[in-house]
Amino acid sequence: MSTSLALLRPGEPPLDLGSIPWLGHALEFGKDAASFLTRMKKKHGDIFTVLVGGRYVTVLLDPHSYDAVVWEPRTKLDFHAYAVFLMERIFDVQLPHYSPSDEKAKMKPTLHRDLQALTDAMYTNLRTVLLGDTTEEAGGWREMGLLDFSYSCLLSPLLFLSLGYFPVSPECRCAESARRCPPGRAGWRCFGIGPWEGRMPLCVSCSFPCCVRSTIHLRRTDGAPTVGQVLDTQIRIKPKRPFTPVPWRQGGRRITGDKDRACQVKGRLWKLLSPARLATRAHRSRWLESYLLHLEETGTAEAMQARAMVLQLWATQGNMGPAAFWLLLFLLKNPEALAAVRGELEQLLSRAEQPISQMTTIPQKVLDSMPVLDSVLSESLRLTAAPFITREVVVDLALPMADGREFSLRRGDRLLLFPFLSPQKDPEIYTDPEVNYILGTMGEKISGFGTSQI
């Protein structure tokens, strides 16, 4: 305590150094950040500073004060330095003249302008992957883990949507495409993929679940399944062709460790996503074209462009698997919620001008008119999504709180927001923060959530 008081300046948040010099609370923070920060909040309040691996991290858990942080100019609170650190440390990416704000400003108009086109293409790709080749003899039922199922259903359509594919003419699609298609991926035939393209969804679908599996946590109660049991929840599906991912081999040695596999796959993706290979692909998205042009304009070398594409692949599609996993898990566990979502969709599609079997896309107005599905997805993410909002303190500054208090932050420290605890799990907002609620009235948007539990 005496050491804490000696280091603490007047007006600064409470300081907790932990029991281990320099390391501080690094072990507790890394093991279970939510439980650790909950304990610190009970001890110190909505704002406090902890020592984590030699860095002083100020944690703000008052959601009413988040705006003061988010809207603070970069000259005082900046994410740039931390983003560069993550890019170099995790993805081995070093971009010249990198500016997150400039990159976002260039890419955002492209996504908004092409939203309907992206929706149409995604619908077509999903039908292709999920329904497969209708001329093919149906296979038998098989079982697979829910997390792997979530990735296998969504990853391939998203990859081809973003990166394009090699088209195959109708007359040779059956023979030539079947020869070039990876075993067990009949749905990919319509994309005309070759040997190398076939490996890309395969290696990504193998590595992404490995990377996110350790980040998914469940609070266990008496008799509840373990995390591994839930992640590997077996579901019965009936695909057109069976498919079993095979771990990559290096020098004849089977790679079984998640970290080794991720590093190996990262290297293979650098080759697959090189500008030379991407230039040969047809029907590339405008987003891809715009981003490659942006990299060229900033003077990025071709080798580094490939690494930047792997970074974008993870940034745009890494969270898709866990989001789909939690949504499906909630719906499968609660038949009433699943029936409500299906009823909402069937009611909307019944008003469409053509039957679902003949639809080439789902109109945007249909997607925008599904409050039940929206609320189920929002609640699923509220209960499970736990991102950190991080800012580097560039200069000494005073942080105003919503209740009128003011705290001093030191230059060089790190400021951390954790919405998972508040507002997402705030008991003052939700009567039972651990309960998933959907809208109480079908098709009617109301304030807050209803009382139907999921």
Q: Where are the domains of the chain?
A: 2-91+387-417, 100-323, 336-354+362-383+430-453
Query: Is 319 a known ligand-binding residue?
Result: yes
In this structure, what token pair is assigned to residue 411?
A: 């230059």
Using CA atoms of 108, 110, 113, 116 in order, give the dihedral in degrees to the nearest 10.
Answer: -100
Task: Note the pLDDT of residue 406.
Answer: 97
Residues whose CB is less than 8 angstroms from the CB of residue 395 and which lie 6 or more positions away in sequence, other chains included: 75, 76, 411
Task: Note the pLDDT of residue 246.
Answer: 31
Task: Note the pLDDT of residue 230.
Answer: 41
In this structure, what token pair is assigned to residue 401?
A: 């709180």
Rg of the chain over all Cα atoms, to the nearest angstrom: 24
Strand bridging mode 47-52 / 15-16: parallel
Residues whose CB is less than 8 angstroms from the CB of residue 283 and which lie 6 or more positions away in sequence, other chains included: 164, 165, 167
Task: Note the pLDDT of residue 167.
Answer: 46
Task: Note the pLDDT of residue 75.
Answer: 94
Task: Note the pLDDT of residue 49.
Answer: 97
Average confidence (pLDDT) over 344-360: 81
What pLDDT band is residue 208 in, cutting at 50, 70 and 90? low
Average confidence (pLDDT) over 178-189: 43
pLDDT over 80 (residue 198): no
In this structure, what token pair is assigned to residue 128?
A: 């292709």
Q: Please, are residues 242 and 147 in contact by the beta-carbon 8 Å criterion?
A: no
Q: Please, are residues 341 and 376 in contact by the beta-carbon 8 Å criterion?
A: yes
Task: Note the pLDDT of residue 414.
Answer: 96
Task: Note the pLDDT of residue 20.
Answer: 94
- One-letter amino acid at 407 equals F
The dihedral of CA 177, 181, 185, 191: what is its sign? negative
Task: Note the pLDDT of residue 449.
Answer: 34
Q: Which fold has domain 2-91+387-417?
A: 3.30.43
Question: What is the tens place of the pLDDT at every residue in 294-341?
Answer: 999 999 999 999 999 999 888 888 888 889 999 999 899 888 889 999
Question: What is the tens place of the pLDDT at every residue in 122-178?
Answer: 888 888 877 765 444 555 666 778 888 888 788 878 887 878 764 444 444 444 444
Question: What is the tens place of the pLDDT at every residue in 39-88?
Answer: 999 999 999 999 999 999 999 999 999 999 999 999 999 988 888 988 99
Distances from the Cα of 56 to the Cα of 32, 39, 49, 70, 418, angstroms:
18, 18, 6, 20, 16
What pLDDT band is residue 415 in, cutting at 50, 70 and 90? very high
d(CA 384, CA 321): 13
Question: What is the tens place of the pLDDT at every residue in 234-254?
Answer: 444 333 332 223 333 333 344
Pick one of 1.10.630.10, 1.20.1250.20, 1.10.1660.10, 3.40.50.620 as the CATH number of 100-323. Answer: 1.10.630.10
d(CA 323, CA 154): 11
What pLDDT band is residue 268 in, cutting at 50, 70 and 90? confident
